[in-house]
Chains A and B, each alone.
Chain A
């Protein structure tokens, strides 16, 4: 094959460049806004770059200590809340999901169909159908504005997919090692934690990745269940600011950058897991 650039090749590179730019420019613009002093943001005509690197917005969020700092403090608190909630629901979901997936594959509990049904159901139903009854229940039981109601909700919403991913993986593991361990008098639970789990780290990781990103990004449940500072998640705090007419663009952009960091780090380093989870979950049906 010749190394010369053919017209098709040039066209392909050109198209790819357009795609890349249309993905990156919105990110660049947000990052630039977060690192620009107010007068750069409001300069006319528009400036493509910041006149100097301005990290005050980031400092404001991380250094803020009390309610006197206003919105910056809200972002700091909600960032921490989002982390706690997303990590907790990931741990709970992957743990419960592992038990269930083991039960389905190794103990031959025939509810695989039920899980597929639940996956479809959770995808299709308008979330308000769940939020209204849960809201009524939570307000009766004084569970509004607690992290636990969000953690529990995210666990339930993500369990079907989590079980599905883990089940698919457990099926591919050879059962001989486990069988011989069982013959040697090893209990089922012991074999789950000592033999199956150590072999399953890629699947556990994939499942955890999905649960974390979904919980980190979720909005409607958080909007209804967390209105005060002790539970408010980052998405709710950001939405409040985006919805305002006059707003501090620099601070808003900074919160957007901080909010997109965890998912972006994941997709940069663990792209393979993410793609395998999506295509495994979607294509094989």
Chain B
């Protein structure tokens, strides 16, 4: 079917017209702020001293951030958090997906239940875990005492070494269903014939898992690494509401620190610099993952 050129021109005009509202909204809320905060990261706004107004300070904000000790400490905590999330969350997600990847009664209901934590607001997740971890009336202390595993109640969120572990558990509880969904989709896509051929050849369950399942799941593993890394590095909601970065700063991860810098101390320039450093690192990591996963494929 040949379309007259006037119609094509009309289509182009309409095409732009239909895109325009979306583009304007995204420009206003995403692109413009991004550029603006990039410039902010080189400025000092002097909000506490409006008479001085804004000044351009060059790389000062970045230098100040990089040379500050709390900044690197919060990075260590964040990396601890991310590593725990990757090393526990991904195998856990894969394990549960393998468990679910067969037909059994009530599968739909069970799958829906397993997805529950994932659709909750992170703030509601915090609320639930606050009720579990509560030192006096929480479920965790209650059950551990009833099982005779502890002799007295433990203040889970007030001990610096414990608090971050408790946050990691709460975060895994919410994040693992996403991994399960991805892994299940990946498992379903593996052709059954490969397993049948392998079992004819006498391969054990473990062998076929190692040589058939895992290689097929490589793109899914990649997606999991990328998503978990992105999300956990900027983790904020549950830290803010469960511990507020405490006790004694022991859970002050990078996302929390950036928030305090911006909306507690109102140092927008420094906070922008921190955020750009974080974005930079996440981009580098994602590029690294793409490289690492591609390399192994060949």
Interface residues of A (CB under 8 A from B): 12, 15-16, 19-20, 22-27, 29-30, 33, 41-42, 44-46, 96-97, 99-100, 102-104, 107-109, 111, 118, 121-134, 136, 152-153, 155-157, 159-160, 163, 179, 183, 188-189, 213, 216-220, 224, 234-235, 238-239, 241-243, 249, 252-253, 255-256, 259-260, 263-264, 266-268, 271, 274-275, 278-279, 282-283, 285
Contact = CB atoms under 8 A, between A and B. Distances in A.
B128 A19 contact: no
Contact of B283 (A124, A157, A274): A124
Question: Interface on chain A toward B: helix, strand, loop, or mixed SS?
Answer: helix
B124 A259 contact: yes
B244 A243 contact: yes
Contact of A125 (B108, B185, B220, B279): B279
Given A128-B275, A133-B40, A26 B129 contact: yes
Contact of B16 (A12, A109, A242): A109
Contacts of B120: 217, 260, 263-264
Given A24-B113, A132-B271, A274-B115, 13 more contacts: A16-B100, A23-B173, A103-B19, A107-B15, A109-B19, A124-B286, A127-B236, A133-B32, A152-B29, A156-B25, A235-B121, A267-B112, A278-B181
Contacts of A267: 112, 115-116, 118-119
B89 interface: no
A-B residue pairs, 6 tightest by C-beta: A46-B142, A156-B29, A217-B121, A107-B15, A263-B119, A133-B33
A128 B119 contact: no
Interface of B: 1, 11-12, 14-16, 18-19, 21-23, 25-26, 28-30, 32-34, 36-37, 40, 96, 99-100, 108, 110-124, 126-132, 134, 136-137, 139, 141-143, 145-146, 173, 178, 181-182, 185-186, 219-220, 223, 227, 230, 234, 236-237, 240-242, 244, 255, 258-259, 262-263, 268, 271-272, 275-276, 278-279, 282-283, 286
A252 B124 CA distance: 10
Contact of A188 (B11, B23, B263): B11
A247 to B, nearest CB: 9
Contact of B126 (A126, A183, A242): A242
Contacts of B278: 126
B146 A243 contact: no
Given A133-B32, A279-B181, A283-B219, A30 B115 contact: no
Given A30-B131, A242-B242, A46 B26 contact: no
Given A20-B114, A156-B28, A263-B119, A126 B127 contact: no
A20 B113 contact: yes
B31 to A, nearest CB: 9
Contacts of A264: 116, 119-120
B30 A122 contact: yes
B185 A283 contact: yes
Given A96-B21, A283-B185, A242 B286 contact: no
B40 A132 contact: yes
Contact of B37 (A24, A129, A259): A129
Contacts of A279: 181-182, 185
Given A46-B146, A96-B21, A129-B272, A253 B30 contact: no
Contacts of B118: 267
